[in-house]
C-alpha cells in the first residue's frame, strides 16, 4: 500500500493543486455564515433569540436546498449549477447584511437567510463526488481522496468560525459575512469552472458513460435501504455535534472559563484532521463496513469520557480531543459507502442529502442540549451525545455488513465510472 504522503501526492496529481485550494476556500463560507448571521443579527437587534431565529432559517434553507442543488448538479452539470448557485448565494449574503444593517423588517432578514441556505454551492459534497469519480475505481486512491477531503472539511469547520470571530472583533460582524460573500463569488466560481466539474447526466454522452450504454430510468432509486441507513448514521453523528457544541459552551462557562470553548472546538478539529490522515494509512483488508463498525465503537467509547468532563478544563479537553479522533474516520467512511449504495448519476445529490441529515440533526441536538443544560446541569448535553453514539453503535453493529454494502452490480469503483473527464 502506498504511504499516506504518497497517496496525497497522487491525489494532487489527479485533481490538480488549484482545485484543492478552491475547494477549501469555497467551502469556508458554509462554516462562516451560520455564526456570522447569529452575531450580526444579535448585535443589530440586541436579541440573541432573534439572531437564533434568523440563523435557524439559514440552517433549514440549507437542509432543504442541499439535496435540490445536488440533484440539479447531477442532471445539469456541476459547472452550470455551481456558477448560478455561487452568484445567488453571494447576492443573498449581501442582501442579509444590507437588511440587518438598515434594520429592515425581520421577515426580510429571515427570507435572505433562507435564500443563503437554499443556494449554498455545495462545494464540499460536490468535491467528494468529483474525487470518487476521478479515482476510477482505485480503492487506495479513493481512500486517500476522501481522507484529504475530510481534512479540508475539518480545516474549514474550525477556521470559518474563528475567522468570523476575528473579523467581528477587529471590525464588525458584517465584515465576516462580506468576506464570506467574496469567497463564494470568487472561489466557488473557480471551483465550478475547473475542468474536473462533472457535465451531468443530461449532457451529451453522459448517460451512456454513466450506465454502460443503458438509459437512466426512474427505477434508479436514491432511497435504497443501505442509503437510508447511512442517512440515519449521519443524523446520529450530527446529534453528537450539536449536543457537544452546547455541552462545551455550558461546561466552560460553569468552570469560569467561557473563552476556552473556541479553543476546545479548534482542538477537536485538529485531532479529527489528524485521524483523517491516519485513515488513509489503514490496510486494504479493513473494508468500509468494518471501519464503520469499529468507528462507532470508538465514537461511543470516547463520548462516555465526556460524562466526567465537569472535573476541570483539562479533563474536558482530553475528552474532546479523544472524541475528535472518532469524527473524521466516521464521516470519511460513510461518504465512501455512498458510492456503493446509490445510482451513479445521483451521487452528488446523495452526498448533499447526507450533509442535510447532519445539519438537521445537529440543530435538534443543539436544541435538546440547550434544554437539558438549562434544566439539569452544564454537562447534561453530553448525555445526549452518549445516547446518540450508542444508537449509532447499535445501528452499525446490526446493519454495516459486507453483504449490505457490497459494490453495486459487482463493478469495481461503481460511481467512479459515472462521467469520466479527459485530463
pLDDT recorded at residue 335: 79
The answer to whether the CB of 150 falls within 8 A of the CB of 279 is: yes
How far apart are the C-alpha atoms of 403 and 179, rounded to whole Å? Answer: 47
Please provide the average confidence, as pLDDT, over all residues in the chain: 78
Instruction: Record the pTM.
Output: 0.70
- Same domain flag for 237 and 323: yes
- Segment 243-264 shows an average pLDDT of 77
How far apart are the C-alpha atoms of 331 and 56, rounded to whole Å? Answer: 24
- Please tell me whether residue 198 adopts helix, strand or coil conformation: coil
Q: What's the CATH code of the domain at 133?
A: 1.20.1250.20
How far apart are the C-alpha atoms of 192 and 205, rounded to whole Å? Answer: 20
Q: Which of 59-63, 189-193, 396-400 has the lowest mean pLDDT?
A: 396-400
If 0-12 CB within 10 Å is exposed, 13-18 middle and 19+ buried, where does residue 217 land? exposed
- Same domain flag for 191 and 303: no
How far apart are the C-alpha atoms of 46 and 297, rounded to whole Å? Answer: 44
How far apart are the C-alpha atoms of 300 and 302, rounded to whole Å? Answer: 6
Query: Cell digits for 88?
Result: 445567488
Query: Cell digits for 140?
Result: 487506495
User: How many other C-beta atoms can be found within 10 angstroms of the C-beta atom of residue 376?
Assistant: 11
How far apart are the C-alpha atoms of 50 and 132, rounded to whole Å? Answer: 41
If 0-12 CB within 10 Å is exposed, 13-18 middle and 19+ buried, where does residue 21 land? middle
Residues 120-143: tens digit of each pLDDT: 988 887 887 777 777 776 666 776
How far apart are the C-alpha atoms of 212 and 215, rounded to whole Å? Answer: 9
How far apart are the C-alpha atoms of 139 and 418, rounded to whole Å? Answer: 16
Q: Which residue has the higher pLDDT, 297 or 416?
A: 297
pLDDT category, 410, cuts 50, 70, 90? very low
- Same domain flag for 353 and 399: yes
- Same domain flag for 193 and 229: no
- Same domain flag for 164 and 294: no
- Same domain flag for 195 and 247: no
Q: Is residue 232 in some structural domain?
A: yes
Q: Is residue 10 in some structural domain?
A: no
- Same domain flag for 332 and 188: no
Rounded to 5°, the CA angle 7-12-15 comes to 120
Q: Is residue 108 in some structural domain?
A: yes
pLDDT recorded at residue 402: 60
Compute the CA torsion angle 104, 108, 113, 118 (nearest 10 deg). -160
How far apart are the C-alpha atoms of 267 and 275, rounded to whole Å? Answer: 12
> Would the CA dihedral through 398, 336, 233, 249 be positive or negative?
positive
The answer, yes or no, to whether residue 336 has pLDDT greater than 60, is yes
Q: Is residue 375 in some structural domain?
A: yes
Number of structural domains, the chain?
Answer: 2
DSSP state of 127: H
Q: Is residue 5 in some structural domain?
A: no
- Same domain flag for 243 and 180: no
Compute the CA torsion angle 72, 77, 83, 89 (nearest 10 deg). 20
* Domain of residue 241, residue span: 223-409
Residues 145-184: tens digit of each pLDDT: 776 777 777 677 767 777 877 787 788 889 989 999 999 9
pLDDT category, 378, cuts 50, 70, 90? confident
- Same domain flag for 313 and 238: yes
Residues 82-123: tens digit of each pLDDT: 999 999 999 999 999 999 999 999 999 999 999 999 999 888
If 0-12 CB within 10 Å is exposed, 13-18 middle and 19+ buried, where does residue 105 land? exposed
If 0-12 CB within 10 Å is exposed, 13-18 middle and 19+ buried, where does residue 76 land? middle
- Segment 318-326 shows an average pLDDT of 89
Compute the CA torsion angle 73, 87, 62, 231 (nearest 10 deg). 20
- Segment 45-50 shows an average pLDDT of 74
pLDDT recorded at residue 158: 67
- Segment 201-216 shows an average pLDDT of 43
Residues 274-311: tens digit of each pLDDT: 787 777 666 666 777 888 888 899 999 999 999 988 77
Residues 6+ apart with CB under 8 A from 129: 198, 347, 348, 351, 415
- Same domain flag for 42 and 123: yes
The answer, yes or no, to whether residue 367 has pLDDT greater than 60, is yes
- Same domain flag for 174 and 304: no
How far apart are the C-alpha atoms of 249 and 370, rounded to whole Å? Answer: 10
Of 20, 111, 121, nearest to 68 (Cα)?
A: 121
Residues 6+ apart with CB under 8 A from 142: 131, 132, 135, 336, 339, 413, 416
Of 15, 183, 196, 197, nearest to 86 (Cα)?
A: 183
Q: Is residue 188 in some structural domain?
A: yes
Q: Is residue 217 in some structural domain?
A: no
- Same domain flag for 140 and 274: no
pLDDT category, 412, cuts 50, 70, 90? very low
**DSSP secondary structure string for all residues of 317-336:** HHHHHHHHHHHHHHHHHHHH
Q: Which residue has the higher pLDDT, 186 or 218?
A: 186
Q: Is residue 119 in some structural domain?
A: yes
- Segment 320-339 shows an average pLDDT of 84
How far apart are the C-alpha atoms of 98 and 188, rounded to whole Å? Answer: 22
373 alpha-carbon distance from chain centroid: 26
Amino acid at each position: 500500500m502506498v504511504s499516506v504522503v504518497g497517496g496525497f501526492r497522487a491525489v494532487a496529481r489527479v485533481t490538480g493543486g488549484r482545485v484543492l485550494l478552491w475547494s477549501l476556500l469555497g467551502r469556508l463560507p458554509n462554516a462562516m455564515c451560520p455564526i456570522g448571521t447569529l452575531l450580526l443579527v444579535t448585535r443589530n437587534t440586541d436579541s440573541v433569540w432573534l439572531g437564533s431565529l434568523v440563523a435557524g432559517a439559514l440552517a433549514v434553507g440549507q437542509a432543504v436546498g442541499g439535496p435540490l442543488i445536488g440533484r440539479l448538479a447531477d442532471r445539469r452539470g456541476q459547472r452550470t449549477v455551481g456558477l448560478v448557485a455561487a452568484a445567488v448565494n453571494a447576492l443573498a449574503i449581501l442582501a442579509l447584511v444590507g437588511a440587518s444593517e438598515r434594520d429592515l423588517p425581520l421577515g426580510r432578514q429571515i427570507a435572505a437567510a433562507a435564500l443563503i441556505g437554499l443556494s449554498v454551492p455545495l462545494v464540499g459534497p460536490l468535491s467528494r463526488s468529483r474525487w470518487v469519480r476521478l479515482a476510477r475505481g482505485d480503492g487506495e486512491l479513493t481512500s486517500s481522496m476522501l481522507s484529504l477531503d475530510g481534512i479540508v472539511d475539518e480545516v474549514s469547520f474550525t477556521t470559518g468560525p474563528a475567522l468570523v470571530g476575528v473579523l467581528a472583533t477587529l471590525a464588525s460582524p458584517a465584515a465576516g459575512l462580506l468576506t464570506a460573500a467574496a469567497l463564494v463569488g470568487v472561489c466557488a466560481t473557480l471551483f465550478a469552472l475547473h475542468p474536473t466539474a462533472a457535465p451531468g447526466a443530461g449532457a451529451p454522452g453522459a448517460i451512456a458513460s454513466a450506465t454502460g450504454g443503458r438509459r437512466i430510468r426512474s427505477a434508479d432509486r436514491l432511497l435504497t435501504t443501505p442509503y437510508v441507513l447511512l442517512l440515519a448514521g449521519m443524523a446520529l453523528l450530527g446529534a453528537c455535534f450539536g449536543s457537544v457544541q452546547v455541552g462545551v459552551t455550558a461546561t466552560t462557562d460553569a468552570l469560569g472559563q467561557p473563552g476556552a470553548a473556541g479553543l476546545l472546538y479548534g482542538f477537536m478539529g485538529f485531532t479529527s484532521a489528524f485521524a483523517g490522515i491516519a485513515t488513509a494509512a489503514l490496510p486494504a483488508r479493513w473494508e468500509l463496513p468494518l471501519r464503520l463498525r469499529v468507528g462507532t465503537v470508538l465514537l461511543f467509547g470516547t463520548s462516555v469520557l465526556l460524562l466526567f468532563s465537569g472535573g476541570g478544563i483539562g479533563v474536558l479537553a482530553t475528552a474532546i480531543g479523544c472524541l475528535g479522533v472518532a469524527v473524521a474516520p466516521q464521516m470519511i467512511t460513510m461518504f465512501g459507502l455512498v458510492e456503493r449504495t446509490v445510482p451513479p448519476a445521483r451521487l452528488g445529490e446523495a452526498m448533499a442529502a447526507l450533509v442535510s441529515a447532519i445539519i438537521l440533526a445537529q440543530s435538534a441536538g443543539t436544541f435538546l442540549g440547550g434544554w437539558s443544560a438549562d434544566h439539569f446541569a452544564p454537562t447534561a448535553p453530553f448525555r445526549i451525545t452518549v445516547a446518540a453514539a450508542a444508537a449509532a453503535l447499535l445501528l452499525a453493529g446490526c446493519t454495516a455488513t459486507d453483504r449490505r454494502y457490497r459494490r453495486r452490480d459487482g463493478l469495481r469503483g461503481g460511481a467512479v465510472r459515472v462521467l469520466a473527464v479527459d485530463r
